Structure 1
Amino acid sequence: MVSAMAATDGIKLSSVEEAMFVDEVAAWPQKTTIQHWQLRDLVSCGDSDDEFYTVCGKQVVSFDTAVARAFAVQTLDYSPTSMTVGCGFLASGGQQSELTVTRLEDNSCVFNGVAGGTVNNALHIARGPNPGDVWLLVSNNDDTIKVLSLPGMVQLDTIFCSVAINYTAVSPCGSYMACVGDSRHAYLYSIKNGFNRITTYSEASDHGMCCSWNAAGNAFAAASQDGTVCVWDIRFGKVLAKFHSKEGACRVVKYTRGPHDLLAFSEHTSFVHVVDSRTYDRKQTIRLGDEDQEPHISGLAFSKDASHLFVGTEDCVVQYEVDSVGRRAFACGTINPR
């Protein structure tokens, strides 16, 4: 395995300009509940661009912004610590390894039981390397990543790690997997033929909380509890960019799935940042709530077409409209690590 240490590579903080990529259009009165003080990936989007999913108590609800109504999709016996939507499925996980999977097409239950281990820190649904593969990856506090097939829920593999894993994400091409956990490292796996760790990246000074791949599948971002988000180019094993929070830990980081080329990350409270992921030299900082408030952020997600960004707090979910015309008209560019 290769360890990459590259704190001085990539975009410098002093060269990042303030910009505006999104604008608030609505604050929907949908409460979200945070069950674990560190685990805050509780907002997700599916195939409908007008809809978001979030956790509220022992339910996972779908909120349709076109009609301003919430619908309960899952009513559970536990309060979820993790939740995700992808490939036509909704998955929720709990603090005692509870796992519930629903097929959204007909709202049928695919699985309701336990995955084994302890806290399900994060769930990720992705397409695997082979045609037709759909996987559910369960990041557990027992130092494992469990890989399950969907909809069959066959356990394909268990990846044993040296630390509790807080998040796992598969690249859009289905060739690589990144994960972060209770260490300062980010781990990169090749998954074309089994799960083989190929590189360990080291940049943060505290535990990793979330990771996300860009649409091209050649770079991923890792959010850490030390208040940094680091972007790694896997082709060169170098840092493309590194960003710092305004006040505290970074909890969630997400790329857009389409050609808008944006990266958003949330802090523990109050602040969300949106970055131009073509060049990483422009960033918008959004404050939620008034100056005398510190709302806890429960998660964020881009709609599938990247036209909207949804940010959850305990009292509401704020909807932002992405400047799609500006993003499509912006000249294409890339940054190469030095």
Structure 2
Amino acid sequence: MGSLAESAFTTSQARHDLTTTIHHWQLRDLVAAGDTSDELLYVCDSSVFQYNLSTREVTAVLCLDWSPNSMTYAYGMLAAGGPSSQLCLKDLREKRVIHRDPLGGSVNNAVHIARMAGQLLLYACNNDHFVKVFNIGPHGLTPSTSFRTQVPINYCALSPDERYLSCVGDCAETIVYAVRESSYTRLHSFREAHDTGSSTAWSPSGTYLASAHQDGTLAVWDIRSASPVHRYQLTSACRNVKFSPGVLDLMAFAEHEDLAHIVDVRQWAHVQHLNAGCGQGRDISGIAFAGAADRLWVGLDDCVMSYDLDSVGRRTFGYGCLC
């Protein structure tokens, strides 16, 4: 990955005997952090399970008659997307299913939950060249809008300031749409890769935008500039990228097998490499930062790894340091 400085952002790691299941070789966002640092949600076969690290309890929170290839959790809402446009949405806090019907179209490559002007939204990136947007209500989904894209979109993310939607799909570009109420207008695109995009994410401030690509490219841009802030080149496909919430200023990205990486957003060349699969060719099913930003979860096909982050050290600056 070029000239990088080996760093240490974790204090400990643990292995958890949990099986995660990948149902599409490219779609690997199948683990999500729960409401507390000890809670993890993950896909296994046709169910979504919740794991509590403190009690070691595993609970099935969603049982389906199809196998999810996409899953997300935010604001108490759990969403899972299926291979034939299936979509299930459940309010985990109220323990109530809100929606359990196909949306129409093809594969739901990704689902994304965000809040805009106080309204919870669900984005479904469908393989039929449409991104479908729904308002989440207490008793169901209400269509907000949908827009057609030139290529199937594999992942999307709304910026924290609610002004932009970033999308990656079956092209080398990272496409940014300007958001105004229920209107999505293509604004510009970034390109540092040469193959399909798998994942995209925004930093908590909304300043940085990152995207992961099948050719091993992980690129980061300052949204105010067309030039990349940093570019990492892996020897295998890059499948997932996430920024830590809060003020830790970390970014994590995962390869197709075995390896995940944690980056210092303050000093982009400072990286910690995590050999989660121990070089055994273990498929990575997803990564997720805990909401308190004190833990990183890495899903594998035969287990889940948890890495405790040095949150105290990340909040402490030496004399004379500025960021």
Smaller-chain TM-score range?
Answer: over 0.9
2-side partners of 1:65 and 1:203: how far apart? Answer: 39
2-side partners of 1:283 and 1:190: how far apart? Answer: 32
Structure 1 residue 117: deviation in Å?
1.0
1-side partners of 2:233 and 2:61: how far apart? Answer: 36
Look up the match of 2:196: 207
1:31-70 maps to which residues of 2 (within 5 A)? 31-70=19-58
For 2:315, what is the secondary structure of its paired residue?
A: helix
Q: Percent identity?
A: 40
Look up the match of 1:313: 300
Look up the match of 1:252: 240
Look up the match of 2:5: 17
Higher relative contact order (CA 8 A, sep 6+): 1
Look up the match of 1:6: none
2-side partners of 1:286 and 1:195: how far apart? Answer: 37
The structure 2 residue matched to 1:148, chosen from 134, 138, 144, is 134
Higher mean displacement: 297-306 or 273-282: 273-282
2-side partners of 1:163 and 1:333: how far apart? Answer: 42
Structure 1 residue 26: deviation in Å?
1.6
Look up the match of 2:281: 294
Look up the match of 1:9: none
Tell me whether 1:325 sits opposite 2:309 in the alignment.
no
Structure 1 residue 333: deviation in Å?
5.3
1:74-89 maps to which residues of 2 (within 5 A)? 74-89=62-77
1:150-169 maps to which residues of 2 (within 5 A)? 150-151=136-137, 152-169=140-157
User: Aligned partner of 1:124: which letter?
Assistant: H
Look up the match of 2:79: 91
Look up the match of 2:160: 172
For 2:171, what is the secondary structure of its paired residue?
A: coil
Structure 1 residue 224: deviation in Å?
0.2
Query: Which structure dedicates a bigger proportion of its chain to strand?
Result: 2
2-side partners of 1:123 and 1:24: how far apart? Answer: 31
Structure 1 residue 46: deviation in Å?
2.6
Structure 1 residue 289: deviation in Å?
3.1
The structure 2 residue matched to 1:118, chosen from 106, 114, 125, is 106
Q: Count residues in correspondence.
A: 318
Look up the match of 1:218: 207
1-side partners of 2:175 and 2:112: how far apart? Answer: 16
User: Aligned partner of 1:65: which letter?
Assistant: L
Deviations 1:159-199 (A, max 9, x none): 11000100000011211110000000001111134211111
Structure 1 residue 75: deviation in Å?
0.3
Structure 1 residue 322: deviation in Å?
0.4
For 1:325, what is the secondary structure of its paired residue?
A: helix
Residues 77, 218 of structure 1: alpha-carbon distance in 2 compared, 3 angstrom cutoff: same
Tell me whether 1:282 sits opposite 2:236 in the alignment.
no
For 1:326, what is the secondary structure of its paired residue?
A: helix
Look up the match of 2:120: 134
User: Aligned partner of 2:236: which letter?
Assistant: G
2-side partners of 1:213 and 1:90: how far apart? Answer: 20
2-side partners of 1:184 and 1:191: how far apart? Answer: 22
Structure 1 residue 257: deviation in Å?
1.2
2-side partners of 1:172 and 1:123: how far apart? Answer: 17
Tell me whether 1:242 sits opposite 2:228 in the alignment.
no
1-side partners of 2:79 and 2:161: how far apart? Answer: 22
For 1:282, what is the secondary structure of its paired residue?
A: strand
TM-score (ref. length: structure 2): 0.95
1-side partners of 2:77 and 2:278: how far apart? Answer: 36
C-alpha contact (below 8 Å) 1:223/1:253 kept by paired residues: yes
C-alpha contact (below 8 Å) 2:242/2:251 kept by paired residues: yes
Root mean square deviation, CA, Å: 1.3
1-side partners of 2:317 and 2:32: how far apart? Answer: 27
User: Aligned partner of 2:134: which letter?
Assistant: L
1-side partners of 2:14 and 2:271: how far apart? Answer: 22
TM-score (ref. length: structure 1): 0.91
Structure 1 residue 28: deviation in Å?
1.0
C-alpha contact (below 8 Å) 1:278/1:333 kept by paired residues: no
